[in-house]
C-alpha cells in the first residue's frame, strides 16, 4: 500500500474542465456491489433446503469531496446544479506523470452540504454517485485532456 499525504490532491470535473480540489480537505471513494441474492429451489421431495446463488448486484461508486468554504471554490461548486453528471478524475498525489489516476465515469452530483460551526472552518461537502466501478490508471499529461 502506498503511503502519501493528500496535500497534492487534485479533483477535476472533466465535463466542464473544473478543478474541484481548491481547498480540498478529503475525498472518500466507496465502491460497492450487493451480494448475490440466494434463490431457494427447494421442492416437496427434497429432504434438505436447496439454495442457488442469484445474480450479483450492479456495481456502484460513491464519492464525497470536502473542501474548505471560501468565495472562489464555493462559487465554482455552487454553479454545478444538483443532478449534474459527468466524469470525475481524482489524482490522489497530484497531476504528476506516472502517479495514480482514478476516473469515475458518469458521476452525478447528488448532494451539497455546508457546515457552519460556531468557531471553526466552514466546510462544503459534495456527494457524487456513479452506477459503475472506478477505472484506475496512471496519469499522463500527454494523454489527459480537459
| Closest residue by Cα to residue 108 from 38, 46, 61, 55 | 61
pLDDT in the model for residue 63: 93
Q: What is the pLDDT of residues 44-73, one digit of tens each?
A: 888 888 888 888 888 999 999 888 877 566
Give me the mean pLDDT over the 121-144 stretch: 84
Residue 1 pLDDT > 50, yes or no?
A: no
Residue 41 pLDDT > 60, yes or no?
A: yes
Q: Residue 66 to residues 1, 15, 20: CA-CA distances in angstroms?
A: 23, 20, 10
Q: Residue 109 to residues 32, 48, 88, 92: CA-CA distances in angstroms?
A: 18, 48, 10, 20
Q: Considering the chain, what percentage of its residues have pLDDT values greater than 90?
A: 21
Q: What three-state secondary structure class fits 11?
A: strand
Q: What is the mean pLDDT of the chain?
A: 83
| Closest residue by Cα to residue 127 from 145, 143, 107 | 107
> What's the CA gap between 56 and 35, in Å, rounded?
6
Domain borders along the chain are: 63-146
Give me the mean pLDDT over the 107-119 stretch: 87
Amino acid at each position: 500500500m502506498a503511503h502519501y499525504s493528500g496535500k497534492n490532491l487534485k479533483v477535476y470535473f472533466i465535463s466542464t474542465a473544473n478543478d474541484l480540489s481548491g481547498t480540498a480537505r478529503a475525498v472518500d471513494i466507496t465502491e460497492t456491489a450487493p451480494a448475490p441474492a440466494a434463490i431457494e429451489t427447494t421442492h416437496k421431495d427434497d429432504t434438505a433446503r436447496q439454495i442457488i446463488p442469484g445474480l450479483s448486484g450492479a456495481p456502484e461508486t460513491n464519492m464525497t469531496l470536502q473542501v474548505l468554504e471560501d468565495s472562489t471554490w464555493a462559487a465554482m461548486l455552487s454553479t454545478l446544479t444538483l443532478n449534474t453528471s459527468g466524469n470525475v478524475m481524482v489524482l490522489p498525489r497530484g497531476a504528476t506523470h506516472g502517479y495514480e489516476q482514478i476516473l469515475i465515469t458518469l458521476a452525478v452530483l447528488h448532494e451539497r452540504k455546508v457546515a457552519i460551526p460556531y468557531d471553526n472552518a466552514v466546510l462544503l461537502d459534495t456527494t457524487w454517485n456513479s452506477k459503475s466501478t472506478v477505472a484506475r490508471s496512471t496519469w499522463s499529461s500527454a494523454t489527459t485532456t480537459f
